């Protein structure tokens, strides 16, 4: 088994070929382990819970076309009433901002008045008292908004609300000792406090954010309907009614009043929550998909390269193999010689590859604000490549082991 | 001679079909991955207005102050007070503030639903500044800006939809319940990235179909369809209070043909900010920026990280494919050492060996390029699966991309063939003949 010395001696005579395979393995390791790490990060992101019961939930974005001077709050109330009467509808809420909506309003929060220096940025969801129940978000402390606390305002008349509900993550960030309920929070460096009357389980903000985003679950609910904004009607449907309502709900709304815009699904108009989620994570899924495809191709190409060069070496050394066989080497000796040779090259390549992988990761951290690759992934990549190298060498090495001893006597 | 070597090359390719196929696939796949990523990258990193990229400038004025701004950088947009002051002083040859609005065309027929089109409010100068091409009519006049006239310029696609493409100048359309007179119809105009406003809906929006005077839009209290950023939020007492607040929501562009003009304008901005400090509106020294289109797009990071990441990864992939090809070519060429020995012994010079083997490499590159073309087609077609639809729609296969695919493939293969060819040319004829 231990044929390292002759292997090294032989490799010295094939410096360039050795170098090429080693380099290829090094580069492949650098790219594959970083790519796998990116895939892992993106996939974990995609799987983050939204804190919402995602089935049977429909969002219908509505914008008024004749906003100026119209009594928009009356129009919104009429819409809600009509939607509630549609068959298959369980409950309806109106909101500007919901999990993974894609864009929205964020506010600076602090626990002292007019204190922008230590403010925390959080997503601010505007809506009525039905938002929590329609989304299916659970209150873990305190109470929901009362109907009389809900304001209907033009966005330019907005002031800080008297009461708010915040997510658990945000509560723990604002009041690390766990005493947030009933305490004040100052919204948007306001001078007047808002009282935290409820705390919900974690809920995703309006955007999937960047992949380093630690504020994913920082959400504040404001019991205010911003009448002039692009509000969405959130509709909790009875099981099996989602598809029907996707068409029926906008139709019903247009029947009441045509002076509105409800964009199509592509422009975030009428979307089931499944579509909302898919759209929010499209880039992540796409990148993971692409990285996966590239990894797979890369491994295949590298394997093919090893097969090619090893075959060449075997063909070149038929005579020497014949001599060894004639001098008493078994088939297994020949087989293990080539496998060892590949192992030596692989290990060399992997050492260089580890350095490359770490530097590549370093560069990605600087250029794209990613996290540094975990050593586990480098190890995983190294093991995969080692096995791949052995597997790719197997066929040519077996061919080599079948070279008959008589080859030694053939001179041409 | 060239044709003969090429023929030799092709014949040699047929001799080891598996090895050849491996190389062709490696080059094809590597090139296709790179070109697919490049097809997206070239659009998102392109220069949307090459003739004027160094003459148009975005203005930034720090109205936030060191306590609220981001690392000393003024906000990307202006508040209404500053934008209006600049526009009214009008120190540049042309200048315009602008912001996206939500406008809907309301059909006269009560059975039809309103049509929402991408819309901007701006000043008359903008049409000439941004080289917006007109199909019919022209932009509105400076006096329309002053009088807040309900006039509109519509896009070609909307003109097709509303008026079946005929000249609609002078017609009235209902926008958000108000009548507007059409002064012009613009031809297809869709700069990518949308340099004049990469902020509001991202740098890759749909073509704009409605333009109205900004004075009119503000008069109608049309809120921005883009971002509003406020240092303090509770400005809260209606539209006028909003206009006078420190909230930033407007972009301001100026046209300054020469560097001297730019210098003068920068000084003017400096003086303006100093004046604001003097009257007590700003409590900090002037902090202004003037960025031309190139600098502005760079500052706004319009290239999505996914796009450049994909490009780098696929280039790395191509590099590995190349290393792979070098190894395989080396194996292939050296296996023919006896043949080379015979040719050299019969009088072939090193040069001819070089020519022959490099051409063989080129032949592999060509085959890889053809495969790469097919795969690039598939790749570009499937970009929509990976990238944002707004970006994906911009990636296309054109002649230039096809030519570069072939070019890159051949160049890559010839580069890969350099070392193996050198080795092949070094074969000693005498030694080869002897061992055989």
Tens of pLDDT, residues B95-128: 999 999 989 999 988 888 899 889 999 999 999 9
Task: Please tell me the predicted confidence (pLDDT) of residue A69.
Answer: 67
Contact B233 A187 (CB under 8 A): yes
Stretch (H or E) spanning B291: strand B288-292
Lowest-confidence region among A79-88, A123-132, B17-26, B288-297 = B17-26
pLDDT in tens, A145-155: 999 999 999 88
A269 close to A63: Cβ distance less than 8 angstroms:
no
Cβ contact, residue pair A258, B113, below 8 Å: yes
Instruction: Please give the average per-residue pLDDT across B321-337, as a whole number.
Output: 87
> Can you give the three-state secondary structure of chain A, one letter per residue?
CCCHHHHHHHHHCCHHHHHHHHHHHHHHHHHHHHHHHHHHHHHHHHCCCCCCCCCCEEEEEEEECCCCCCCHHHHHHHHHHHHHHCCCEEEEEEEECCCCCCCCEEEEEECCCCCCCCCEEEEEEEECCCHHHHHCCCEEEECCCCHHHCEEECHHHCCCCCEEEEEHHHHHHHCCCCCCCCCEEEECCCCCCEEEEEEECCCCCCCCCCCCCCCCCCEEEECEEECCCCEEEEEEECCCCHHHHHHHHHHHHHHHCCCEECCCHHHCCEEEHHHHHHHHCHHHHHHHHHHHHHHHHHHHHHHHHHHHHHHHHHHHCHHHHHHHHHCCCCHHHHHHHHHHHHHHHHHHHHHHHHHHHHHHHHHHHHHHCCCCCCHHHHHHHHHHHHHHHHHHHHHHHHHHHCCCHHHHHCCC
Residue A412: pLDDT band with limits 50, 70, 90: very low
- Identify whether the C-beta of residue A57 lies closer than 8 Å to the C-beta of residue A236: yes
Strand pairing report for B56-61 and B288-292: antiparallel
pLDDT confidence of residue B433: 67
Confidence at A351, pLDDT banded by 50, 70, 90? very high
Mutation pick from A15, A20, A28 vs chain B, by most beta carbons of B within 10 Å, is A20
Given a contact cutoff of 8 angstroms between Cβ atoms, the answer to whether A394 and A50 are in contact is no
DSSP, res B201: S
CA separation for the pair B203, A394 (Å, rounded): 52
Rounded mean pLDDT of chain A? 88
- Are the C-beta atoms of A194 and A160 separated by less than 8 Å? yes
For chain B, which residues make up each domain, given as ranges?
Answer: 2-45+305-435, 56-299
- Report d(CA A254, CA A251) in Å as an integer: 5
Supply the pLDDT for residue A210. 55
Lowest-confidence region among A117-121, A212-216, A230-234: A212-216
pLDDT band at A200 (very low <50, low <70, confident <90, very high): very high
Interface of A with B in 187-206 (CB under 8 A): 187-191
Contact A241, A56 (CB under 8 A): yes
Among B33, B234, B323, beta carbon nearest to A159: B234
Residue with more model confidence, B10 or B166: B166
Q: How confident is the model at residue A158 (pLDDT cuts 50, 70, 90)?
A: confident
Whether B35 has a pLDDT exceeding 70, the answer reads yes
pLDDT at B149 over 60: yes
For chain B, the helix, strand and coil percentages under 3-state DSSP, each to the nearest 5? 50, 15, 35
Q: For residue B135, what are its two tokens?
A: 């199909």
Chain B residues lying within 8 Å of A291, measured CB to CB: 313
Largest CA distance in chain A: 103
Q: Smallest CA–CA separation between B169 and chain A, in Å?
A: 24
Task: State residue A78's pLDDT score.
Answer: 94
Share of chain B above pLDDT 90, in %: 55
Res. A76 pLDDT band, cuts 50 70 90: very high
0.90 surpassed by pTM: no
pLDDT tens per residue, range A217-263: 899 999 999 998 889 999 999 999 999 999 999 999 999 998 899 98
Strands B251-255 and B210-213: unpaired
A264 in contact with B, Cβ within 8 Å:
no
**How many Cβ atoms from other residues are within 10 Å of residue B245's Cβ?**
22
Size of interface A-B (CB pairs under 8 A): 168
Residues of B in contact with A108 (CB under 8 A): 233
A91 touches chain B (CB under 8 A): no
DSSP run (H or E) holding B208: none
Residues A138 and A147: their CA atoms lie apart, in Å, by 18
| Chain Cα centroid distance, residue B253 | 19
Would the pLDDT of B402 be above 50? yes
Token readout for A379 is 């190890």
Distance CA A317, CA A59 (A): 70
Q: Is B123 helix (H, G, I), strand (E, B) or coil?
A: coil
pLDDT (tens digit, 9 = 90+) per residue, A358-391?
999 999 888 877 788 888 989 999 999 999 999 9
Angle subtended by helix axes B17-44 and B2-15, to nearest 10:
110
In chain A, whose CA is at the least distance from the CA of B220? Answer: A68
pLDDT at site B235: 58
Report, as an integer, the average pLDDT of A350-357.
95
The CA distance from B99 to B108, in Å, is: 27
Tell me what percent of the residues of chain A surpass a pLDDT of 90.
53
**Which chain B residues are closer than 8 Å to A308 by Cβ?**
19, 22, 327-328, 331
What does the DSSP assignment read for B385-428? HHS-HHHHTT----HHHHHHHHHHHHHHHHHHHHHHHHHHHT--
Question: Looking at the DSSP assignment, which residues form a beta bridge with residue B405?
Answer: none
For residues B362 and B329, give the distance between their C-alpha atoms in angstroms, rounded to a whole number.
Answer: 12
For β-strands A120-127 and A219-222, DSSP reports them as parallel
Q: Which residue(s) pair with A261 in the sheet?
A: A63
Q: What angle do CA A4, A6, A7 make, to 5 degrees?
A: 60
Structure tokens at A286: 């796409």
With CB atoms and an 8 Å threshold, state whether A308 touches B331: yes
Closest partner CB to B314 (pick from A108, A117, A294): A294
d(CA A217, CA A46): 14
E strand or H helix at B45, and its extent?
Answer: none
The interface residues of chain A toward chain B in range 327-366, judged by CB-CB distance below 8 A, are 364
Instruction: Please list every residue in chain A whose beta carbon sits closer than 8 Å to the beta carbon of residue B330.
Output: 16-17, 20, 309, 312
For A223, B61, B89, B289, B294, the CA distances from B258, given in Å and listed in that order, are: 53, 22, 20, 17, 16
Q: What is the pLDDT of residues A20-53, one digit of tens each?
A: 899 999 999 999 999 999 888 888 888 888 899 9
- For tokens 């996966």, the residue is A292
- Find the residue in B nearest to A411 (Cα): B436
Q: Using pLDDT thresholds of 50, 70 and 90, give the confidence band for residue A411.
A: low
Six token digits for residue B91:
């120190």
> How close, in Å, is residue B263 to chain A by CA atoms?
33
The phi and psi torsions of B127 (rounded to 5 degrees) equal -60, -45
Chain B contact for A121 (CB, 8 A cutoff): no
In angstroms, the CA A104 to CA A274 distance is 19
What tokens appear for B394 in the block? 């911009």
Average pLDDT for B266-280: 94
Average pLDDT over residues A117-143: 91
**What confidence tier does A85 reach under pLDDT thresholds 50, 70, 90?**
very high
Which chain B residue has the Cα nearest residue A290? Answer: B386
Q: Give A199's strand partners.
A: A141, A166
Q: CA geometry: angle at B104 spanning B102 and B110, to 5°? A: 155
Query: Are the C-beta atoms of A145 and A136 separated by less than 8 Å?
Result: no
Q: Which of B236, B303, B424 to mutate to test the interface with A (most CBs of A within 10 A)?
A: B236
Bridge partner list, A53? none
Q: Residue A219 forms beta bridges with which residues?
A: A123
Q: List the single range of A10-14, A231-235, B209-213 with lowest mean pLDDT.
A: A10-14
pLDDT at residue B3 in the model: 79
Non-local (6+) Cβ contacts of A204 within 8 A are A48, A49, A50, A51, A52, A99, A100, A216, A217, A219
Place of tokens 């060399």: A348
Give which of A18, A27, A36, A65 to mutate to test B binding, by max B Cβ within 10 Å.
A65
Q: How far is B249 from chain A (nearest CA, A)?
A: 13
3-state class (DSSP) for residue B337: helix
Contacts of B223 in chain A (CB under 8 A): 155-156, 228
Sign of the torsion angle spanned by Cα atoms B307, B312, B313, B319: positive
- Strand, helix or coil for residue B138: coil
Mutate to test the interface with B, among A303, A304, A307 (most CBs of B within 10 A): A304
CB contact under 8 A, A188 and B232: yes
Shortest alpha-carbon distance between residue A66 and chain B (Å)? 5
Q: What is the structure's pLDDT at A408?
A: 78
B53-70 pLDDT per residue, tens: 999 999 999 998 887 777
**Interchain contact, B335 vs A107, CB within 8 Å:** no
Distance CA B196, CA B250 (A): 11
- Residue A154 C-alpha, separation from nearest chain B C-alpha, in angstroms: 8
- Is A63 in contact with B102 (Cβ distance < 8 A)? yes
| Largest CA-CA distance found in chain B, in angstroms, rounded | 99
Strands (E), B237-287: 251-255
Tell whether omega for the bond before B193 is within 30 degrees of 0, i.e. cis: yes
């Amino acid at each position: 088994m231990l044929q390292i010395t002759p292997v090294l001696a032989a490799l010295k005579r094939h410096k360039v070929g050795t170098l090429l395979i080693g380099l290829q393995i090094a580069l492949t390791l650098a790219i594959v382990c970083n790519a796998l790490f990116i895939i892992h990060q993106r996939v974990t992101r995609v799987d983050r819970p939204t804190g919402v019961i995602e089935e049977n939930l429909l969002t219908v974005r509505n914008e008024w076309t004749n906003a100026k001077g119209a009594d928009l709050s009356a129009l919104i109330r009429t819409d809600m009433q009509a939607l509630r009467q549609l068959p298959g509808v369980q409950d309806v809420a109106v909101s500007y901002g919901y999990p993974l909506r894609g864009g929205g309003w964020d506010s600076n929060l602090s626990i002292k008045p007019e204190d922008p220096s230590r403010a925390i940025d959080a997503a601010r969801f505007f809506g009525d008292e039905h938002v929590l129940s329609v989304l299916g978000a659970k209150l873990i402390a305190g109470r929901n908004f009362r109907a009389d606390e809900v304001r209907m305002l033009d966005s330019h008349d907005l002031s800080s609300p008297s009461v708010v509900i915040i997510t658990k993550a945000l509560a723990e960030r604002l009041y690390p000792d766990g005493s947030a309920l009933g305490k004040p929070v100052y919204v948007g460096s306001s001078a007047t406090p808002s009282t935290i009357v409820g705390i919900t389980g974690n809920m995703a903000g309006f955007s999937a954010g960047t992949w380093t985003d630690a504020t994913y679950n920082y959400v504040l609910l404001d019991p205010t309907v911003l009448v002039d904004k692009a509000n969405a009607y959130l509709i909790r449907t009875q099981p099996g009614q989602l598809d029907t309502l996707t068409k029926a709900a906008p139709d019903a709304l247009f029947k009441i009043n045509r002076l509105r815009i409800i964009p199509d699904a592509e422009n975030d108009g009428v979307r089931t929550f499944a579509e909302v989620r898919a759209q929010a994570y499209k880039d992540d899924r796409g990148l993971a998909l692409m990285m996966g495809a590239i990894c797979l191709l890369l491994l295949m190409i590298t394997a093919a390269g090893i097969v090619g060069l090893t075959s060449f070496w075997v063909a070149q050394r038929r005579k020497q193999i014949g001599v060894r066989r004639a001098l008493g080497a078994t088939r297994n000796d020949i087989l293990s010689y080539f496998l060892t040779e590949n192992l030596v090259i692989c290990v060399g390549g992997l050492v260089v590859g580890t350095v490359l992988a770490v530097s590549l990761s370093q560069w990605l951290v600087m250029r794209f604000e990613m996290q540094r690759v975990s050593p586990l992934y480098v190890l995983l990549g190294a093991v995969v490549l080692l096995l791949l190298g052995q597997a790719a060498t197997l066929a040519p090495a077996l061919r080599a082991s079948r070279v008959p001893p008589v080859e030694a006597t053939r001179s041409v | 001679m060239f044709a003969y070597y090429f023929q030799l090359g092709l014949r040699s390719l047929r001799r080891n079909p598996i090895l050849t196929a491996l190389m062709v696939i490696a080059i094809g796949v590597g090139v296709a991955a790179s070109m697919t990523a490049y097809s997206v990258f070239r659009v998102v990193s392109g220069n949307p207005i090459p003739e004027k990229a160094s003459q148009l400038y975005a203005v930034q004025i720090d109205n936030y102050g060191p306590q609220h701004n981001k690392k000393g950088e003024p906000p990307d947009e202006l508040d209404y007070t500053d934008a209006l002051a600049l526009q009214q002083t009008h120190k540049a040859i042309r200048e315009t503030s602008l912001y996206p609005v939500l406008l809907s065309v309301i059909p006269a027929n009560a059975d039809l639903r309103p049509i929402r089109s991408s819309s901007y409010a701006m000043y008359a100068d903008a049409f000439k500044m941004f080289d917006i091409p007109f199909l019919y009519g022209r932009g509105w006049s400076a006096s329309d800006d002053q009088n807040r006239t309900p006039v509109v310029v519509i896009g070609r696609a909307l003109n097709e939809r509303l008026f079946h493409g005929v000249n609609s100048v002078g017609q009235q359309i209902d926008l958000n319940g108000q009548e507007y007179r059409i002064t012009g119809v613009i031809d297809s105009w869709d700069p990518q990235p949308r340099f004049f406003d990469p902020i509001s809906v991202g740098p890759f929006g749909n073509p704009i179909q409605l333009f109205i005077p900004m004075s009119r839009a503000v008069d109608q209290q049309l809120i921005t369809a883009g971002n509003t950023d406020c240092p303090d939020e509770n400005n809260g007492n209606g539209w006028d209070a909003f206009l006078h607040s420190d909230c930033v929501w407007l972009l301001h562009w100026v046209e300054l043909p020469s560097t001297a003009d730019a210098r003068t304008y920068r000084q003017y901005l400096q003086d303006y900010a100093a004046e604001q400090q003097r009257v007590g509106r700003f409590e900090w020294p002037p902090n202004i920026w003037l960025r031309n289109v190139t600098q502005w797009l760079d500052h706004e990071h319009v290239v999505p990280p996914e796009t450049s990441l994909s490009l780098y990864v696929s280039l790395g992939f191509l590099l590995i494919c190349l290393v792979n090809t070098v190894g395989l070519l080396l194996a292939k060429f050296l296996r023919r050492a006896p043949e080379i020995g015979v040719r050299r012994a019969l009088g072939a010079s090193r040069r001819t060996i070089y020519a022959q083997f490099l051409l063989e490499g080129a032949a592999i590159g060509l085959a890889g390029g053809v495969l790469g073309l097919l795969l690039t087609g598939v790749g570009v077609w499937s970009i929509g699966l990976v990238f944002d639809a707004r970006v994906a729609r911009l990636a296309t296969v054109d002649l230039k991309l096809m030519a570069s695919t072939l070019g890159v493939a051949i160049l890559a293969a010839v580069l890969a063939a350099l070392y193996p060819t050198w080795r092949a040319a070094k074969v000693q004829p005498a030694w080869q003949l002897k061992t055989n």
